[in-house]
Amino acid sequence: MADWQVITDKMGIAADTINTYPFRGASSSGGVNTTAGGAISQYRLVELSGSTVVEATEKTARMLGSAPADTASGEEILPQIGAFRCISAGKITAGERIRVAADGRVIGFLDPTAAATSLAVDDGVAFTNQPTNDGVEILSDSASDVGTVTVIGFTTGGVVMVVETITLTGTTFVPTVKTDWGSVVAIKADAHVGTITVREASADAAIVTLATGTNSAGVVSVAESAYGAAPDVVGDGASTKVVAVKYLNAALADAYMAVALNGTTEAALPTAANYIYEMYVGDVAASTEVTLTTNATADTVYEEICGRALESVATTGLPIFCNLY
């Protein structure tokens, strides 16, 4: 099918009226107006809204093409199809079919071959003396340590994620603002000279320590696409400990979420994710292996497919050549 036929088909324009269709600019003599209905960034996918062209909405089946340049509202725009640049909304592998994500970006379509695919596998770390409705304190055994330490955990009585960063003051303990931690699932620190101790506040009992040269605990690097669906986690034995992730959500914002393991049955994380940065297993026993996978249910709305990636990109916000159709 010719490019113009693909465009007119998606726009609902009869083929015999193609000569009246103004692919560039407005027209009062017939056809559809191809002026921008709002600001459109270069390489964003677009669709028709009323009589104007706008950035395409997530999962639209009416993508027209990619914007060849930054376009102000009211300016003329000619969407490009075929081999042209788009902007990624997560990691994409060459050859993957793609669909529209938020902000007119593209993301991989969750084909059956990508569903239930392992993203990361690692053992738990088994932090001790979890605070359980208590505060957390952090200190070093070196007065030289004045960098930051980030505590990642959840509120007692649930899995509401909390991330708090404190600045060390050497050998003097620094308390977190939060005083009702349930469990800590990960610790991340700047480079440090001494050994950092993270402890629960009431009894000063150590939760975890970071020796010199170790800048994190409970952190598993993932850096993989979740295809705009909620990932699953599963253990290799009986466990109801909490696993958390840092992820890029459908609105293209970084966020955190968590879920309790359900033994050897997959447990779905609560929110759709475009991309997973890290998994956190500090609350999980060292004898439990945790597997993070893409959602087990493949996408089936094939009308949302808008092309295929011609190259690979590692993360979000990157230009990527795609074959748009």
Residue that has been written with the tokens 């000619």 in this structure: 78
Structure tokens at 278: 């890290």
Rounded to the nearest integer, the mean pLDDT of the chain is 91
pLDDT-derived band of residue 26, with 50, 70 and 90 as boundaries? very low
- Give pLDDT tens digits for 67-100: 999 999 999 999 999 999 999 999 999 999 999 9
- Give pLDDT tens digits for 219-231: 999 999 999 999 9
Sheet holding 232-235, edge to edge: 118-123, 289-293, 232-235, 267-268
Q: Tell me what pLDDT residue 32 has.
A: 45
Length in residues, the chain: 325
Comparing CA positions, the residue from 257, 260, 255, 254 lying closest to residue 233 is: 260
pLDDT-derived band of residue 210, with 50, 70 and 90 as boundaries? very high
Q: Tell me what pLDDT residue 18 has.
A: 35
Three-state SS for 217? strand
For 307: left if phi > 0, alpha if psi spans -120 to 50, otherwise beta; the answer is: left
**Cβ burial 7-17 (10 Å sphere, 16+ → b, else e):** bbebbebeeee
- One-letter amino acid for residue 74 of the chain: G
Give the predicted TM-score (pTM) of the model: 0.87
The Cα–Cα gap between 237 and 313 comes to: 35
